[in-house]
């Protein structure tokens, strides 16, 4: 790159969105771009973890937070209204002060931060959408939006196990937002989040190695370049993206466990278990007799209450066979040779991180894209099984043993190793994500020349 080019990133303020955006920043910086991150004050990333990026805080006026889906949407609404003018002010300054960061050539924004496209448009600055979920999920969403606009919702229960036309092997049960009780306001928002406004390209945290079919269809649909350059965390130099402090003591604990023996249990940053499920899970893990590393976030449980509700002797067993942390260095954990399985809610980052390390999964999806991701794991890649039905101790014990110590589980481990190989292939020199990244670098460099 002869002239210095600056890319402005706008992440959405949730862990599963901030992580891929910061990884994308590290990827683009490794290609010579200077990186500015305009972020909400709510769930702000820690600038100390990215000393070579410039951070610009956007006052958002988000006041409270709980994990309900409706509240997440309320937060987004507030942000999309309140951040616009300050963001515009920042961009004007950046465009006028070229000597500081280089020439601003584009803004890359998370698909749900839709105020950005308006601002970019007004300043005649190109914008690019970054999509942190997979392509199948977008296609599923579009399908449901279509059903809704044709007044076909709700669907009869009898249809739920059927395969969705054109979306094999996904079932109606896997589709997001099938209920007709979802308010119009939310559908309107989601509709916007699934288009690209005036953006000139899309960057996707996926790879042609695993989503070639859906990518080909979307490339025809969108008519703008789609750069599938994932898994981002394997394309970027390692970077610290956690909003919460990681407890690295669990790595010492993993170091003394046998290869492939440990089940890692984590539900990401939003999904949590209720008290009953938590206790049944504890019992099931103990009864399975497999070592486990379990993430229980402090916002999802009161620790004193947890300890008092646990089975007799649970804490002693923990000392011996289990390890509980509030937040783990997940990518290091999944790459550790002692970890042989991952019980996950199937967020897209967790799913990509698991297959990239060849770790088979127990899927317990909860909402949104997680059902689609779980179907990929169980029915497309065959690298995991679903925790079906009620989470009681018998079910947990049986499912854990199926994954960790059965012939079936071993077969899934072998398949997971093949997925790891595919991910490695995509990011190695000459691989499909590697090539697409070079195309993206060229594309961005040409934007204002
Ligand atoms: C959200 C949605 O819930 C999910 O469905 C969507 O795909 C992305 O946005 P989240 O639930 O947090 O994300 O899950 P996920 O996508 O898996 O992201 C969690 C991130 O936190 C991962 O990168 C994971 O490595 C990290 N993590 C999680 C840790 O570093 N430590 C932990 O202890 C738990």
- 183-198 per-position pLDDT tens digit: 787 778 777 888 899 9
The predicted structure's pLDDT at residue 449: 47
Alpha-helix residue ranges (DSSP H) falling in 194-302: 208-222, 232-235, 249-255, 275-288
Q: Are 33 and 144 found together in one domain?
A: yes
Residue 353 burial (CB < 10 Å; 0-12/13-18/19+)?
buried
List pLDDT tens digits, range 56-94: 999 998 886 676 777 888 888 889 999 999 999 999 999
Q: Judge if the beta carbon of residue 331 lies within 6 A of ligand 1.
A: yes
Q: Are 64 and 145 found together in one domain?
A: yes
Q: Tell me, yes or no, whether 27 lies in a domain.
A: yes
CB atoms within 10 A of CB 135: 24
> What is the CATH number for 420?
3.40.50.2000
Number of domains in the chain: 2
Q: Rounded to an integer, what distance in angstroms lies between the CA atom of residue 90 and that of residue 95?
A: 9
Q: Tell me, yes or no, whether 358 lies in a domain.
A: yes
Phi, psi of 446 (to 5 degrees): -85, -10
Structure tokens of 134? Answer: 């997979």
Q: Are 74 and 197 found together in one domain?
A: yes
The predicted structure's pLDDT at residue 350: 98
Strands annotated E in 154-212: 202-204
List Cβ neighbours of 25 (8 Å cut-off, separation of 6 or more): 7, 9, 35, 37, 50, 53
Phi, psi of 411 (to 5 degrees): -60, -40
Q: Tell me, yes or no, whether 111 lies in a domain.
A: yes
Q: Are 365 and 298 found together in one domain?
A: yes
List pLDDT tens digits, range 101-129: 999 999 999 999 999 999 999 999 999 99
Q: Are 111 and 189 found together in one domain?
A: yes
Q: Are 284 and 352 found together in one domain?
A: yes
Average pLDDT over the chain, rounded to an integer: 93
Q: Tell me, yes or no, whether 244 lies in a domain.
A: no
Q: Judge if the beta carbon of residue 346 lies within 6 A of ligand 1.
A: no
Residue-number span of the structural domain to which 52 is assigned:
5-238+427-445
Q: Tell me, yes or no, whether 243 lies in a domain.
A: no
Q: Judge if the beta carbon of residue 356 lies within 6 A of ligand 1.
A: no
Closest to 306 in 3D by CA, of 329, 281, 289: 281
What spacing in Å lies between the alpha carbon of 350 and ligand 1's midpoint? 6
Q: Are 186 and 106 found together in one domain?
A: yes
Q: Tell me, yes or no, whether 286 lies in a domain.
A: yes
Residue 421 in this model has a pLDDT that exceeds 60 = yes
Q: Are 89 and 130 found together in one domain?
A: yes
Model confidence at 372, pLDDT cuts 50, 70, 90, reads very high
Q: Tell me, yes or no, whether 11 lies in a domain.
A: yes
Q: Is the peptide bond before 169 cis (omega within 30 degrees of 0)?
A: yes
What spacing in Å lies between the alpha carbon of 381 and ligand 1's midpoint? 20
Q: Are 77 and 160 found together in one domain?
A: yes
Interface confidence (ipTM) of the complex = 0.99
């Amino acid at each position: 790159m002869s002239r210095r080019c600056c890319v402005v990133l706008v992440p959405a303020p949730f862990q599963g969105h901030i992580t891929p955006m910061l990884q994308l920043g590290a990827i683009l910086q490794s290609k010579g771009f200077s990186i500015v991150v305009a972020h909400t004050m709510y769930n702000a990333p820690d600038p100390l973890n990215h000393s070579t990026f410039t951070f610009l805080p956007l006052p958002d006026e988000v006041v409270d937070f709980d994990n309900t889906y409706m509240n997440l949407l309320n937060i987004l609404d507030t942000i999309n209204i309140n951040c616009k003018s300050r963001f515009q002010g920042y961009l004007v300054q950046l465009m006028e002060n070229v000597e500081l960061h280089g020439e601003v050539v584009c803004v890359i924004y998370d698909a749900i931060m839709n105020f950005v496209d308006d601002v970019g448009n007004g300043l005649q600055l190109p914008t690019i959408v970054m999509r942190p979920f997979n392509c199948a999920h977008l296609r599923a969403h579009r399908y449901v939006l279509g059903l809704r606009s044709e007044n076909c919702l709700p669907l009869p229960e009898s249809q739920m196990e059927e395969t969705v036309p054109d979306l094999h092997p996904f079932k109606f049960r896997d589709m997001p937002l099938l209920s007709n009780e979802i308010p119009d306001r939310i559908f309107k928002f989601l509709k916007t989040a699934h288009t690209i406004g005036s953006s000139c390209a899309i960057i996707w945290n996926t790879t042609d190695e695993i989503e070639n079919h859906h990518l080909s269809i979307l490339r025809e649909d969108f008519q703008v370049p789609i750069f599938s350059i994932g898994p981002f965390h394997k394309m970027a130099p390692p970077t610290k993206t956690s909003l919460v402090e990681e407890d690295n003591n669990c790595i010492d604990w993993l170091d003394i466990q046998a290869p492939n023996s440990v089940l890692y249990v984590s539900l990401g940053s939003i999904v949590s278990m209720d008290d009953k499920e938590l206790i049944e899970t504890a019992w099931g893990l103990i009864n399975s007799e497999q070592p486990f590393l379990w993430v229980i976030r402090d916002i999802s449980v009161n620790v004193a209450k947890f300890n008092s509700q646990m089975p007799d002797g649970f804490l002693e067993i923990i000392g011996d066979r289990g390890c509980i942390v509030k937040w783990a260095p997940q990518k290091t954990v999944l790459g550790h040779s002692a970890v042989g399985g991952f019980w996950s809610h199937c967020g897209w980052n967790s799913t990509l991180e698991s297959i990239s390390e060849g770790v088979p999964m127990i899927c317990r999806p909860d909402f949104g894209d997680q059902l689609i991701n779980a179907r990929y794991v169980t029915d497309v890649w065959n690298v995991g099984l679903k925790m079906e039905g009620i989470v009681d101790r018998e079910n947990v014990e049986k499912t854990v043993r199926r994954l960790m110590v059965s012939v079936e589980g071993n077969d899934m481990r072998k398949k997971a190793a093949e997925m790891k190989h595919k991910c490695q292939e995509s990011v190695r020199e000459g691989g499909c994500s590697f090539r697409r990244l070079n195309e993206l670098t060229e594309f961005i460099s040409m934007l204002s020349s």
